[in-house]
Amino acid sequence: MTDKNTGAVGLEVSGLSKSYGETEVLHDISFQVEPGEVFVIMGPSGSGKSVLLKHLIGLEQPTAGEVLIDGRAVTDPATLRTIHAALVFQAGALFNSMSVYDNLALYPREHRILPEKGIRDRIGEILRILSLENAAERFPAELSGGMRKRVAIARALVMEPQIIFYDEPTSELDPIMAATISEIIACLKEQIDVTSIVVSHDRDLSLTIADRIAILMDGRLRVIATPDKLKATDDAAVADFLNPAIDLKNPRFKQRSA
């Protein structure tokens, strides 16, 4: 087995629907993400973003349709054994009893991917990319929320992923830290050959980092477009979501197409 990143991989979703009991949560969703692309999935709360993400990483079985990574079904266990995929969880999920360095070394040590010296070199490089050199010997509880988030990204990068999934990478961060995370995701695109799929309801983040944005509403794909095209949308529901007009004297109530 090689630990080399053999290049960013594409992802394809076709005709994906998901029902829980009688309730359809995702309806006939199809899109393609190109290798190396930063693809952001946005949508109001409850629109189905998290459920969609679970399907993209093979944690849920669709009621209809399929998800392919690099042309292979993500529900086939062999797919994620051969493709390096990494997930940056919302809360970070770091081990509090271990230093940052040991958190990062956990996966490569367990899978004997590299000798200790190789692990040290790789972690050193990743800490540098994320400006975390001074955090290596510290413990997660001693770090700010923004640093913990960066460590979570660092841990994903240690796996030399070909595709990274981020679930709400800027939630719980103040605006300055959120902007830093945006910069990091955008900068990784230049430094590492990886495809990034980001689920977020953070408009600033999405419009800054995305090559393309998909907007999910009520379990349906409303539009896929570049940030510039989206800012100029003539779809009132999309414009409302991206740029909510707050006019207290004349409140507008959004209609849900149930």
Ligand X SMILES: Nc1ncnc2c1ncn2[C@@H]1O[C@H](COP(=O)(O)OP(=O)(O)O)[C@@H](O)[C@H]1O
Q: Which residues bind ligand X (CB under 6 A)?
A: 20, 25, 43, 45-51
Partner from Mg ion, ligand X, none binding residue 250, C-beta < 5-8 Å depending on class: none
Q: Under the criterion CB under 5 A, does residue 171 sit at the interface with Mg ion?
A: no
Instruction: State the Cα–Cα distance between residues 125 and 188, nearest whole angstrom.
Output: 13
Q: Could you tell me the two tokens for 83?
A: 């493709």
User: Least CB distance from residue 47 to ligand X, whole Å?
Assistant: 4
Partner from Mg ion, ligand X, none binding residue 98, C-beta < 5-8 Å depending on class: none
Q: Under the criterion CB under 5 A, does residue 17 sit at the interface with Mg ion?
A: no
Q: Which is nearer to ligand X, 25 or 147 (CB)?
A: 25
User: Least CB distance from residue 41 to ligand X, whole Å?
Assistant: 9
Query: What single-letter DSSP state applies at residue 142?
Result: G
Q: Which is nearer to Mg ion, 138 or 201 (CB)?
A: 201
Q: Under the criterion CB under 5 A, does residue 208 sit at the interface with Mg ion?
A: no
Binding residues for Mg ion restricted to 35-54, rule: CB under 5 A: 49-50
Instruction: Give CA separation, 51 vs 26, 77, 137, 165, 236, in Å.
Output: 8, 19, 36, 13, 25
- For residue 67, give the nearest of 20, 24, 9 by alpha carbon: 9
Partner from ligand X, Mg ion, none binding residue 7, C-beta < 5-8 Å depending on class: none
Partner from ligand X, Mg ion, none binding residue 99, C-beta < 5-8 Å depending on class: none
Q: What is the DSSP string of 41-108?
A: EE--TTSSHHHHHHHHTTSS--SEEEEEETTEETTSHHHHHHS-EEEE-SS----TTS-HHHHHHHHH
User: Least CB distance from residue 218 to Mg ion, whole Å?
Assistant: 14
Neighbours of 256 (CB within 10 A): 10
Q: Under the criterion CB under 5 A, does residue 90 sit at the interface with Mg ion?
A: no
Burial of 58 (0-12, 13-18, 19+ CB in 10 A): middle
Binding residues for Mg ion, rule: CB under 5 A, are 49-50
